[in-house]
Each structure stands twice: as structure tokens, then as C-alpha cells.
Amino acid sequence: MINELMIIIFTPLIAGVIAWLLDIKGLREGISVIGAAIPLAYLIQAYHTLASQSSIQYSVVISGFKFEFLLYQISWIFAMIAGVVGFAAILGMVSTAKDSYEWLFALMSLTGVYGVFLADDLVSFFIFWEIMTFASFMMVLKYNKKASLKYFLLSVAGAYSMLLAIGMLYAKVGALDFTTIQQVLYQDAMRGVLGTNTLFSRNEILLIFGLFLVAFGVKAGTFPLHVWAPDAYSETNQSYTAMFSGVLSKAGVYGMLVIYILLGTRLVYQFGRIGAAPKFGYVIAFLGGITIIVGGLLAALQEDIRKLFAYSSISQIGYILVGIGVGSALSIEAAIYHAISHALFKGLFFLIVATIVLRTGKTEFKDMGGLAEKMPITFAMAFVAILSLAGIPPLVGFASKWLIFEAVIHENMPILGGMIFFGSAIGFVYLIRFTYAVWFGQRPTELDDTKDAPVPLAIAMGILALLNVVFGIAPGLVAGELNKIFGKEIIQGTIWELNLGFGRYNGLFITVWLVIGIVIAGIIYFLGAKVRRVPVTDTYQAGNPVTMEYNLTIRRNYFLPLKETLAFWLRISFDRLYQDIGKWVEDLAETLRHYIYNGNVQAYAWYLAIILIILALWGV
Amino acid sequence: MVDWRLFEPLFEFARKRSLWIVSFCTGCGGIEMPPLMTSRYDLERFGMMPNPAPRMADLFLITGYVTPKTLKRIIITYELQPDPKYVMAHGSCPLNGGVYWDAYNAIKHIDKYIPVDVIIAGCMPRPEAVMDGINKIMEMIENGTADSWKRYKENYEWYKKNQDELFGEGWREREARRWIPWLMERKKGEE
Amino acid sequence: MIEIALKAVLILLYATFVGFMFMGIIRIVTARIHRRVGPPIYQPILDTIKLLSKKSNITHGLIYDFGIIYALGATILALMFIPLGSISILRAYGDLILITFLLEIPMLGIMFAAMSSGNPWAGLGSQRALLTLLAIQVPLGFAIVALAEFYGTFSTYQIVMAQQTAGWSITYLPLLLAAVAYDLVLQAMFGKEPFDIMIAPGEISLGPMVEFGGKHMGILQIQHAIALFAETLFFSNIFLGGAVVTAFASPILNTLASLGILLIKQIAVLLIAIFIGAIFPRFTIDQAARFYWKWPTIIAATGAILAAL
């Protein structure tokens, strides 16, 4: 009987390969959907197993390396995120995938993600990390080579840093599985406390931390390593981006948690704390705060619908990093809660974008408008997603943002608190931009016969929207699972309520009273006279008559005053910096090729002679 | 459920004590509006406020002469207002042409195109005369005789016939399309 | 159950009535500053009755209607959470951040309704309203942070109770700075000069509200009244000490006394806003954003950092 962890990890890959080999249109969709649904079913079953035993474990030895896989509470939560959002994304791809190539790589990246979450030693972690990056790179490559090249270079830089850090750890510790490394580093910290010599010196542990930070920061999209994200998220199949930005970025977040688990005690001993947060955590949190602001402000200024949501993804991951960085148990729980809610609403948003792009064929705001009447189901889903991202109770986005805010303030970090507050306002702002340009206003005549979402996409969106609403009204369901990570009741309260001792949030009361308020307003509304519907051209424009040929909606450059206010800061761009560094390296290589590898045989003969003389003098 | 006709006196009291004026004061009489709204003849103590959006306003002031160009905008703005709405005309020009009785481009009888409740004679009526007119319109609202909006709805064909005779059929679309080249040229210039 | 329903209805009626009085106070005080007589103090009630009794209304679609209803519903929801003497219903759940978020939701509903009307000025007004909202978030965030750090709790009711023994919040320096910043933010939240660029009468015909008429505008007036009441009440509770009177023996007299004290504090806040609003012209949107990101942010951030020490 094959262990269920192996089934969870490898089923999507096998399904993808079969779907790629049998290129029959209906069959490959069915196989892929089954391939994404089976791990989800096993994970739900594993929930019951985990209630009785604390973890499910599996290890296999291949050519001298021992690969370990472990399913315990934290990895179960992250694997469930991958399962649900991945399943919804694959279901969405049923409508938008173009050929079997995409199925293969989408499912391969799902395998990679499962492997990353379930790995218990550094080698399997790295292998599955690379599988995940490779598969997503291939998905982007099909659409746009330049974007995929940027993604590839930055990911490879991250992967090499991770490899270096793993190498340094292996050299000193001698083993690769998480349990041994954790124990050794903990003893190291204890030795440091007692005053004896430690295994890792200060510079070594700082270097390992920095390398891991680069590796996971690239994946999560931290400022300044975020430059691959807008292009990569836009230039691929948009249903796949639901998984790409919803799940794969959580691998970066999981990596940050791995830093905490493995290196946490050692770094706290070495570098101390700022306030109540560890110093190394404060670095992560501060980078997260800047990411929130930069991502959000840039999102408000975009003209392309996919890029707006790509920058929005970067901004939301910043929230999670702030929560992780602050380091107390409550803030880590809040960060994981936000990871769950971000995966849910961002996955929903990208599926909506996929529907819009599929049905209208347009991707820029200036071509869209007034779609709310033509695509009512999609608009209802978009309404739920907008309320969730803006952080409006009673949906799940508010619960997670509230938790992060309370956790950060409780640890006395005012600057981070101000950054988070600003971030939620920015979320409001770019969402209204999206709503106004796409759903409301005057409709261009060429969009007059757009159809609504196809059935698979509608089902996928429905699943995610339902989870958004359910987890918002009953936030205690998620909080209960999160409390099991730490074993004690950090977030108290019932399933309807989150009680932190210094603040309470009750999802049920808010929903009930909101409905009562809307009913009262509705009564006042219906007591008035009846309404008659008027077309959009029957509007006040200082008495001038208007026809449909006038442009009545501001679709381009909507936030021009914001661009003018930020004109100074927008001149700094890390994207241009990286491109300039790339060009500089190219020029250097060109110079070297010109002077050294110049094709002149006599020069090569001279090089050979010089090297032989040096070797002879060296005594080899 | 509730018979709203029982509340008619309350509604008429509210309507007469909170008339909102559409900010459309063109024509010579527009100069008499600022004295009305400032400290000497304060109009706000009757609850009247100038309001830039016609959808929320009830009182339309035709202050002075009207040309066909202005009349098109007046008709469009008047039709945007919700019922019940009232019109007050200042001066002799809306009544019978006034000083412009022989001009080729001034409307002589505004009552053919837009129903009017109260006309205030004078060239231009002083603020005291306008206050008198406002008093009269408040009385008419209380009596229920300020029914120009009902007249417009019931005799809409007659009004429309007069408007079309003056401007030609389909005048709204033609007027809208007249400005499109100017707008589009400006946009091309900006890009 | 019946008791809760009765309390809810009483709070709602009281808030609406006092909110309309506040709108009337704004108009009559502004008129007296201009040396005019001004309308009677119950004028907004007459305006609302006139608007709700219009005989024909128009609509631009489902969201146009639903946005307005949602805005009023969200304002009523926000009202239920703020402690009002001793008769508020959900005051145990009145979290600082929750109330701040709930006071911003009505703007979302109004903007949805305005944008669905398809008027370019409504879109322009929404853009300016959003940018104003963005601009005020930074000092607002720091002020809330200062408050939470100083008292160590997020519950509004506990902050009110703490002020009964320790004195008003503004007697402490960090919270005085936070109160100054929050008062400047209140100018924009009320929509008064110099930050009324989102309304901008005359320039863009009242911005988002250009296509609202009849009963939609009537509902918006009710929403504005309740929102005025809720925002001034929130400020009085967290910075000016709220009011929990226990001097009398009967609870009804206690409630009336606390409502009276709260009313005086709310009118004080409102008068400061009116006085500032009557003498300033309007900022453009980038001037407003730059203003808010400079001085109020520095004041509020100083307050927050001092409170965290």
C-alpha cells in the first residue's frame, strides 16, 4: 500500500503526464481535474488521522540520501491551501487552457508545491522547489519570453543562494533532515548562552540567514526582489495565475517559516530583539511593510488589468511577511490566517480576470466598461472578492487583516502598524479603479454581446467565494486549526467570534446587524415612489445632450493626481536597476570577448605559453 | 399600507420650505441672484439653496431672456428634474419678449416650450420683487395650484410640437454630434 | 430580545434626530458667521421629507439602488458598535479598528452607486474621494495606533472606562498629538472645507451625487446625519472622555445625563469643524494629499512613537 503522502505529492504529476500523452480534448481535462481532486480528498481524510496522531511520516532512501516527508499541522494547513486553490485553478483551466503542454506544467507545479510543503529534509525541499519553479517558468515561457527570462534569472539566483546555504549547513551539521538541524542549532544557541564556543560563528549564521532570505524573498515577491512578479503573473494563462500567485507565493512564505523553525533560536541568541520582535524578524517585517506600500501604490497606477492584480498580490504578501516578522505566536497565526484568506480571494480574482479575458479578449482598462449587466454571475463573485480584499466585515479578508493589525500593535510596533493601515486603504483604492473601469459606466459597443462565465469557471469561482463568506462569518473555524499549531489557545472564542483578550471580533453579530441595517434602509427605500430605468445617456452634463459616441467613463489614467503626487518616488525603480546591471554585465562580457577571446590564433598561443610557464614554476 | 394622501399637508409644507434652485442663472437677471443669497435679502432663511445637480433640485429660475441655444439646455435640464418641479421666470422677456421683442434670436413666449408657474414683471426685477414672487410661489405650493409639472406631463405632445417646430426634429442628437469633432480634435491634440 | 430591539430602535431614532440637528447647526452657524439669518435648525428634516416625497424617481441599474441601501445599512451597523453612555448594544465588540473600518464602508457603497450611474463627473468625484480617503489613512492609522498603545487595549468601551478614572485622553501629550491629527482627519471625513474636493459643488456638480435625486438623495441625507452623529460620538468617546454617569439612582436619569454630556462634547467637536470650514477655501486633491502626508502624519507619528515608549 503506497503511503498517502506519496499519493498526495505525485498524483498531479502522473495525471499531467498522462494528459499530455493522450492529447484528446475531453479526456485530458477530466484526467487533470481528477488528478487535482485526489490529493485534496486525501488531505481531507488526513485531517481525521491528524486528530488522533500528531503527524504522518514517510521516508525513502535513494542512493544514499534519505528523503523524509512529514505531514503535521502547519504543513497540513499549507497543503490544504494548495489543494483547494489548486483544484479551483485547474477547474478554471478547463475553460482557458490552450493545449496539453499547459496541463502538464500546471500539474507539475502543483506536485512541486505539495512536495515543498510536505518535505522534511533539505534535499527533497530543494528538489521540489526546483520542480515548482521550472514548471511555472515553462508556463510563462509559452506566452512571453522576456518575462519568463526575468523570472528565471531571479529564481535561479534565489535557488543558488538556497543551495549555498544548504551546503554550509550540511558542512557543519553533517545531516540534512529538519529534525537534526533544528536540534543541533538549538544546542548551538544553548552553548552560546552558556558561553562556550558555538558551531557557527556570527558571520556564518548571518550569511546563512541572508541567503535563505534572498531565496524565499524572490519567491514571495518581497521588495526589492519583486520585479519578476508583475510580468510573470500577467503573461501566462490567467486561471493558472490563480494558482501561481495564490499558492506558489505561499511557498516563499512557508520558507520564511522554515527559517524560524530551523534557525530561529540561534538567530535570536546571536542578534537579540527590538522591542518584542527578534531583530532578524524585524528585517523581514520592515521589508514586508515597504512591499505593502510599494506594491499597492504601483497597483493603483496600472493600466492593464492583469498587472494591477499582480502588484496587488505582491502587496498582500507584504502583510503576511509583516506578521511573520514580528515573531510572536499571535502574529504568526495571524500571518498564516492571512495566507489562507489571500489565497482564497486572490485566486478568486484571477479566475475573474481569466473569465473577462476569455469572454472579451481585452486586457487593458481602456477597452472595457459596463460589463456588470452582461456578466451578472461574474460580477456577483467580483463583489464578494472586492469586499474581501478591501477588508470589509463580514468577509474573511477583514478577519485576517484585523488579526495582523492587533498582533502587530500589541507588540508595540507603531511604524509597522501605520504601514499596515495605509496598505488597507490602498487596497480600497485600486479595487475601485478595477470596479469602475470594468463593471460600471458606459459600455463600448463592441462588448455588447459578451456572454457570462463558462460553467467550469463559474463552479471554481463559486467554491472560492463560498469559502470566503463562510470563513468570514465563522472565523473561529480557521482560528481553531491555527491554535493547534502551537498547542494552546492563543486566539480564543467560539467559531463565530475571535477573542484576543484586548479586542474582540464577532462575525455573526456583524452579519446579523448588517442585514438588519440593510432591511431598515430597504424599508425606507420602498416607501418612496417607484423608479423608472433611464439609459446611461440620460445624464446631467451641464445641460448638453450626450450620445453613446461620447466617452462617459474615465478609463485611462484614472489616478493621474496620485501619479503627480508621487512623481518624485516613481523615478526610483528596481526593475530598471536590474536591467541596467544586466546590461552592464553584458557589456563587460562583450569587452572581454573583444580583447581576450578575439579569435587571433597567435594570442591563444601566447595564453597557452603563459599558463604552461606558470604551471611549471608552480611545480605541478 | 399607509395612505400617503393623509400626509399631503406635511409634504406641501416641506416642499414649500425647502426649495432647491438649479444653478442655471443665465441671462441678465443672473446679476440679481447674488444679492438675494447674501446677507441683506437672505434667501436661505426660507430654506432655498442653490444646488448644482438638477436631479435634486425643484425650482428652476429663468432669469431673463432666452436664446434658442440656451433654451435647448433649459429643456434638457428641466426634463432631468424629478416631479414635482416649479418654474419661475424673471423679467418681461420670458413673458412677451421685453426689450428684445423684435430680435431674431430671442424667444418671445417661453410658455410655449416650458410651463411656467410664476412670472415676475420688471426689467430686471429688484430683489424685493423677487422675494414677492417667491412668496407667491410658496403660497401656490401650499394651495396645490403650482401644477406646471402636471401641465407638462399632460400636454407633452403640445410642448414637444412647439420645441420641434423651433429646433427641428431630432434636435438632441444633432446638438450632441455637433460638439463631437471639437472634443475629438482636442483629444487627438493631447495625445 | 425585545429589550435589544427596543434599544436599537431608540438609538437609531435618537441618532437620526440628533444627526439632522447637527446638519442644521452646521447651516445656521455658517449663516451667522456670514452675518445672515440662516435657515431654522430643523431645516434638514424638511429637506429629507421633501426628497423622500418626490413623485418620480429614476434609476441607473441594480447597483445604483443597492449601493445606497448598503451605505445606509453599513452606517447603522457602525452606529451599533459605538458606546453611547450605557445603552449601546454591541459595545463589548466595539473594537477601534472595526469602527474605523465600518465608518469608511458607506463611502464604498456611495461610490459604487455613483459609478454605476455612468456620469463622468461621478467618476471624477469618486477618484477624488478615494484619493482623499487614501490621504487621510496615514494620520488616522497613527492616531489609532497611538491610542491602542497607550491604553493597551482595543476596545472602545474599556478606553471610555479608563478615562473615567484617569482623566480625559487629551490631557496626555501623545494622545493630544493624536487628537489634533484625528481632528484634521475629521474635516475630510465630514466633507467640509478645506477638504471637500470630493463634493466640489459647482466644479463637478457635487461629484458622486450628481445623479442622485428623490428618494436616493433622501436616504443619503439620512446616512449623512447618522454618519455625522457616529463620527463625532466616536471622537468624543476616545479622546474627550465619553460619559458614564452613575451619580443618580435611577438608570433612566443616568442615561439621560450621559446622553446630555455626550451631546455637549459632540457639539464642541462639530463647532470646531464648522469654524475651520467656514473660513477656508478648497484644496485641490494633490495639495490635500501632500498636506495630509506631511504635517498631520508627522504629528500623529510622533504621538504614536511617544505612546509606545
C27-36 tens-digit pLDDT: 999 999 988 8
Residues A461-473: what's their mean pLDDT? 90
Q: Among residues of chain C, what percentage have pLDDT more than 70?
A: 98
Instruction: Give me the domain span that covers residue A590.
Output: 580-618
Instruction: Give me the domain span that covers residue C25.
Output: 2-308
Is A374 within the bounds of a domain?
no
Q: Among residues of chain A, what percentage have pLDDT more than 90?
A: 11
Which residues on adjacent β-strands are paired with residue B88? B61, B118
Which residues on chain A are in Cβ contact (under 8 Å) with B176?
Answer: 544-547, 549-550
Quote the cell numbers at residue B181.
469633432
Instruction: Judge whether residue A195 has pLDDT over 90.
Output: no
pTM equals 0.88
Question: How distant is the Cα of C47 from the closest Cα of chain B, in angstroms?
Answer: 6
Helices (H), chain C: 2-33, 43-52, 62-81, 96-115, 120-151, 156-166, 173-190, 214-239, 251-279, 285-308
Cβ separation C211–A436 shorter than 8 A: no
Q: What are phi and psi of B118, to 5 degrees?
A: -130, 130
Residue of B nearest to A539 (CA): B80
Is the Cβ–Cβ distance between A88 and A464 less than 8 Å?
Answer: yes
Q: What is the CA radius of gyration of chain C?
A: 19
Which residues on adjacent β-strands are paired with residue B87? B60
Cβ separation C141–A417 shorter than 8 A: yes
- Strand, helix or coil for residue A69: strand
Is B161 within the bounds of a domain?
no
* Most confident of the ranges A12-26, A566-580, B18-32, C172-186: C172-186
Number of Cβ within 10 Å of residue A94's Cβ equals 21
Of A211 and A62, the structure prediction assigns the larger pLDDT to A211
Prediction ipTM score: 0.89
Closest CB to B39: pick one of C34, C58, C210.
C34
pLDDT category of residue B187 using cuts at 50, 70 and 90: low
Cβ separation C118–A425 shorter than 8 A: no
pLDDT category of residue A416 using cuts at 50, 70 and 90: confident
Is A142 within the bounds of a domain?
no
> Own/partner pairs for B37-40, CB < 8 Å, 24+ apart?
B38/C34, B38/C36, B39/C34, B39/C35, B39/C36, B40/B127
Of A277 and C141, the structure prediction assigns the larger pLDDT to C141
pLDDT category of residue B147 using cuts at 50, 70 and 90: confident
Closest CB to B176: pick one of A527, A542, A547.
A547
Is A602 within the bounds of a domain?
yes
Count CA atoms within 13 Å of residue A406 on its CB side.
27
CA distance A388 to A472: 9
* C309: Cα separation from own chain's centroid: 30
Number of domains in chain C: 1
Cβ separation C37–B58 shorter than 8 A: no
CA distance C258 to C255: 5
pLDDT at B188: 56
Residues C160-181: what's their mean pLDDT? 87
Name the least confident of A55-69, A308-322, C228-242: A55-69
Number of domains in chain A: 1
- Strand, helix or coil for residue B63: strand
Number of domains in chain B: 1
pLDDT at B135: 92
Which residues on chain B are in Cβ contact (under 8 Å) with A538?
Answer: 80
pLDDT at C29: 93
Is A283 within the bounds of a domain?
no
Instruction: Judge whether residue C271 has pLDDT over 90.
Output: yes
Which residues on chain A are in Cβ contact (under 8 Å) with C82?
Answer: none
Is the Cβ–Cβ distance between A251 and A136 less than 8 Å?
Answer: no
DSSP annotation of B43 reads S
Cβ separation C206–B17 shorter than 8 A: no
Instruction: Judge whether residue A584 has pLDDT over 50.
Output: yes
pLDDT at A238: 85
**What percent helix, strand, coil does chain A show, rounded to 5?**
75, 5, 20
DSSP β-ladder status, A277-278 and A497-499: unpaired
Quote the cell numbers at residue B15.
416642499
Instruction: Judge whether residue B190 has pLDDT over 70.
Output: no
Which residues on chain B are in Cβ contact (under 8 Å) with C206?
Answer: 51-53, 56
Is B89 within the bounds of a domain?
yes
**Exposure letters A247-261 (e unless 16+ CB within 10 A, then b):** bbbbbbbbbbbbbbe
* A602: Cα separation from own chain's centroid: 55
Residue of A nearest to C134 (CA): A425
Output the domain CATH number for residue B75. Answer: 3.40.50.12280
Helix (H) or strand (E) holding B22: strand B20-22
Residues A256-269: what's their mean pLDDT? 83
pLDDT at B191: 47
pLDDT category of residue A224 using cuts at 50, 70 and 90: confident
Instruction: Judge whether residue C60 has pLDDT over 70.
Output: yes
Q: Which of B151, B143, B134 is nearest to B21 (CA)?
A: B134
pLDDT tens across A284-300, in order? 888 899 999 888 888 88
Residues of chain A contacting B, Cβ within 8 Å: 527, 538, 540, 542-547, 549-550
Q: Which of A247, A304, A202 is nearest to A78 (CA)?
A: A247
* Most confident of the ranges A492-506, B87-101, C243-257: B87-101
Residues A444-460: what's their mean pLDDT? 84
Residues A522-551: what's their mean pLDDT? 83
Closest CB to C154: pick one of A370, A503, A519.
A503
Could you give the dihedral angle defined by the CA atoms of residues C190, C192, C194 and C198, in that order, rounded to the nearest 10 degrees? Answer: 80
Compute CA distances B42 → A16, A427, B19, C32, whole Å.
79, 46, 14, 11
Instruction: Judge whether residue C194 has pLDDT over 50.
Output: yes
pLDDT at A544: 83
Compute CA distances C46 → A493, A565, B10, C28, whole Å.
47, 42, 9, 15
Q: Which of A57, C212, A194, A473 is nearest to B57 (CA)?
A: C212
Of A436 and B25, the structure prediction assigns the larger pLDDT to A436
CA distance C217 to C210: 10
* Chain B interface includes C302 (CB < 8 A): no
pLDDT category of residue C18 using cuts at 50, 70 and 90: very high
Residues B55-84: what's their mean pLDDT? 89
Instruction: Give me the domain span that covers residue B20.
Output: 4-149
Of A54 and A416, the structure prediction assigns the larger pLDDT to A416
DSSP annotation of A161 reads H
Closest CB to B177: pick one of A527, A543, A547.
A547
pLDDT category of residue A159 using cuts at 50, 70 and 90: very high
Q: Which of A427, A423, A438 is nearest to A304 (CA)?
A: A438
Q: Hey, which bits of A32-108 come out as E strands?
A: 56-62, 65-71
Cβ separation C75–A517 shorter than 8 A: yes
- Strand, helix or coil for residue A499: strand
Is A473 within the bounds of a domain?
no
pLDDT category of residue C202 using cuts at 50, 70 and 90: low
CA distance C56 to A531: 7
What is the C-alpha end-to-end distance of chain C, expressed in Å?
45
Is A593 within the bounds of a domain?
yes
